[in-house]
Amino acid sequence: MTGNDDTPLWMPSAEAVAASNMMAFMGLVNERHGLSLGGYDALHAWSVANPALFWDAVWDFAGVIGDKGDAVLADADRMPGAKFFPEGRLNFAENLLREEGGEIALLFNNEGEMREPVTRAGLRRDVARFAAVLKSWGVTEGDRVAAFMPNCPETIVAMLAAASIGAVFSSCSPDFGVKGVLDRFGQIEPKVLVACDGYRYAGKVLPAHEKLGEIVAGLPSLKHVAIVPFIGEGKKDLAKAEDWLALLEGAREEELSFARLPFAHPLYIMYSSGTTGIPKCIVHSAGGTLLQHLKEHRLHCDIRPGETLFYFTTCGWMMWNWLVSGLAAGATLALYDGSPFAPSEHVLFDYIDAAKIDVFGTSAKFIDAVKKSELKPRETHDLSSMRMILSTGSPLVPESFDFVYEDVKKDVALCSISGGTDIVSCFVLGSPVLPVWRGEIQAKGLGMAVEVWNEDGRPLPQGQGEASKGELVCTRPFPSMPVGFWNDPDGAKYRSAYFERFPGVWCHGDYAEVTQHGGIVIHGRSDATLNPGGVRIGTAEIYAQVEQLPEVQEALAIGQDWQGDVRVVLFVVMKEGAALDEAMEKRIRERIRSGASPRHVPAKIVAVADIPRTKSGKITELAVRDIVHGREVKNREALANPEALALFRDLPALSS
């Protein structure tokens, strides 16, 4: 089944539309304000024109636990600077733990091995116990609790316990190298570290004690370390370490309490890609994260209490934070850690059937990999529970849309979504009341004033191909904008990151267009951030590893568009007398894998004689990327050695 400009790939039934949360919400808005909004486009237009009324309605429709206060939005004309629910008080964990019964809260699958489910009562009990531990350790509002953990129930327990107190949570996945962890956690000075003793990937057991020893030594702010025995080895002789299970068993038995804090109180610290140096620490608020995620889960994903939500993610990607919020919508979370192809390529499809997953989230790269493996899940699996597939990380190419409807499931809403760590949510995503068009994201998010602008800051027309492609921007404030950056007291770094190009307007750095259907196509990043398989990677993190090798004089990395995804290409200038042979390539890859992460490892490594740089001496990834893709370099006069660009044109090594 292949769609075209006139035929959608999928349409929701009239009955499903009428019964959707989206239509129920529209009914609430119409009744409350005497309106007669009749469809998604009208509702979206109203939501961005009336942000205070819209977000007030979202709070009520979602049943947020807390006190709204009298004002919904102050300083609405300031971006940044607008304040949502400035008098409001709530607790993030209280909203995720609102149910206390025997319903299943968490399922966990580690490469095909299923753990006992965690009930909502059991989750609440463990959160209460670890919150008591944190309090006994002197953790208070604003302290940082960091996690070096897989995507497992204990990580969620740690986050919710921290949030219940008002502590700030931050996480990395255990495949990060020591420097990658210290570049992140070292900036935020956590008081507590929750860490695994190791993890499993592709059938291998990978102990973490050696890395943990260096991490703990590199974080002088740490007072306590809780070790989760994920691979059964425990704390061993790690400094400051205590056993997770013993801590919970010995915790004071007390009723779980929740600190009601301001709407803008910090909840998470997340990290930019580290393109130009160590990663920026992005601070997200409890209220903004909760309200935005409730909107996306309840309205855009149409999640109902008791449904099962899955997203393939690690704790180093924002989709983990997004997934966890599904508890607030009453969903059961299906957690998974490990390779999506171990012990077999069927493992995630087996999980869909075993857990009766309703909403299945993954990356565009996974869908493409399944397609290339020539699997036909519709022939090998039931998949009857799955009503929605979410895809993000990189653009979902039209051929992948075709594959899903031909070889995965015909009757499913395929929703490509896009946003980022910067907003811990989506700018554009699915809608249960709209058709799915081939290669397109369905809709702009409710309350998100998304437009596509040209370089002069003017909105582009929709549905005109190349003439419609430009910068994705958001012209009005929204609750999940960051509180700011850590250690950025005057907000200069924050403003520079998003508001420098178009003052007063969020410029996201995506190259996008709005189609004739009102859908959105993301054509990739418009800056130098690498994005292989949907995981944002900073070039500086790669250089920090490669350039420690004595044979490498200098390096430059770009993302090359390749077969519907992006692959990392690393160019190296070798020192005199050194050569880039097979053994050297292996050393480079091993160094990057161990020092940064497996995701940083380049697909191609190419030796060049010189690297173009600006007159101030900075290497210029953007110019090289343009040359590799056959595009004109517009700003050659800014280069000190523009002749070096010719070294990157039509390279045979990059044609396969």
Q: What is the per-residue pLDDT across 417-470, written as a single tens digit (0 to 9) for each?
A: 999 999 999 999 999 999 999 999 999 999 999 999 998 999 999 999 868 888
Average pLDDT of span 205-233: 97
CATH of the domain at 631: 3.30.300.30
β-bridge mates for residue 241, sequence order: 225
Q: How far apart are CA 346 and CA 360, in angstroms?
A: 14
Higher pLDDT, 528 or 183: 183
Q: 134 and 89, same structural domain? A: no
Question: Is 7 within a domain?
Answer: no
Average pLDDT of span 208-213: 96
Q: How far apart are CA 325 and CA 52, in angstroms?
A: 23
User: Quick one: pLDDT band at residue 281, thresholds 50, 70, 90?
Assistant: very high
Question: Is 467 within a domain?
Answer: yes
Q: How far apart are CA 537 and CA 545, in angstroms?
A: 13
Question: What integer pLDDT is reported at residue 524 of this predicted model?
Answer: 67
Q: 558 and 520, same structural domain? A: no
End-to-end Cα distance, the chain:
29
Number of domains in the chain: 3
Residue 615 has pLDDT above 60, yes or no: no
Tens of pLDDT along 543-579?
878 877 889 988 999 999 998 888 999 999 998 899 9
Question: What integer pLDDT is reported at residue 632 of this predicted model?
Answer: 83
Q: 468 and 499, same structural domain? A: yes
Q: What is the mean pLDDT of the chain?
A: 92
Question: Is 531 within a domain?
Answer: no
Question: What integer pLDDT is reported at residue 279 of this predicted model?
Answer: 82
| Strand pairing class (104-110; 113-114) | antiparallel
Q: How far apart are CA 591 and CA 549, in angstroms?
A: 8
User: Quick one: pLDDT band at residue 364, thresholds 50, 70, 90?
Assistant: confident
Q: 128 and 247, same structural domain? A: yes
CATH of the domain at 201: 3.40.50.980
User: Quick one: pLDDT band at residue 359, thresholds 50, 70, 90?
Assistant: very high
Question: Last residue of some domain: 525, 560, 576?
Answer: 525
User: Quick one: pLDDT band at residue 276, thresholds 50, 70, 90?
Assistant: very low
Q: 398 and 280, same structural domain? A: yes
Question: What integer pLDDT is reported at residue 2 of this predicted model?
Answer: 45
Tens of pLDDT along 498-520?
999 999 999 998 888 999 999 99
CATH of the domain at 330: 3.40.50.12780
Q: In Å, what is the CA distance from 563 to each residue of 30, 369, 556, 566?
A: 46, 11, 22, 8
User: Quick one: pLDDT band at residue 414, thresholds 50, 70, 90?
Assistant: very high
User: Quick one: pLDDT band at residue 641, thresholds 50, 70, 90?
Assistant: confident
Question: Last residue of some domain: 259, 286, 304?
Answer: 259
Q: In Å, what is the CA distance from 218 to each residue of 173, 187, 215, 221, 496?
A: 17, 11, 5, 9, 30
Question: Is 169 within a domain?
Answer: yes
Q: 514 and 372, same structural domain? A: yes
Residues of the chain with pLDDT > 90, as a percent, come to 79
Question: What integer pLDDT is reported at residue 600 of this predicted model?
Answer: 86
Question: Is 428 within a domain?
Answer: yes
Q: 367 and 492, same structural domain? A: yes
Residue 1 has pLDDT above 50, yes or no: no
Q: How far apart are CA 432 and CA 24, in angstroms?
A: 12
Q: How far apart are CA 591 and CA 583, in angstroms?
A: 12
Residue 372 has pLDDT above 80, yes or no: no
Write the single-letter amino acid at 375.
L
Residue 523 has pLDDT above 80, yes or no: no
Question: Is 532 within a domain?
Answer: no
User: Quick one: pLDDT band at residue 527, thresholds 50, 70, 90?
Assistant: low
Q: Kindly state the tokens that stand for 412.
A: 């499913």
Question: Last residue of some domain: 471, 500, 525?
Answer: 525
Average pLDDT of span 381-391: 98
Question: Is 1 within a domain?
Answer: no
> Domain limits at 398?
14-96+266-525
Question: What integer pLDDT is reported at residue 34 of this predicted model?
Answer: 98
Question: Is 109 within a domain?
Answer: no
User: Quick one: pLDDT band at residue 212, thresholds 50, 70, 90?
Assistant: very high
Residues of the chain with pLDDT > 70, as a percent, come to 95
Question: What integer pLDDT is reported at residue 431 of this predicted model?
Answer: 98
Q: 279 and 226, same structural domain? A: no
Q: 576 and 507, same structural domain? A: no
Query: Which pTM was predicted?
Result: 0.85
Q: 607 and 640, same structural domain? A: yes
- Residue 570: name the closest of 553, 546, 595 by CA: 546
Q: How far apart are CA 453 and CA 634, in angstroms?
A: 19
Q: 86 and 151, same structural domain? A: no
Tens of pLDDT along 318-347?
999 999 999 999 999 999 999 999 999 999
Q: 253 and 270, same structural domain? A: no
Question: What integer pLDDT is reported at residue 325 of this predicted model?
Answer: 98
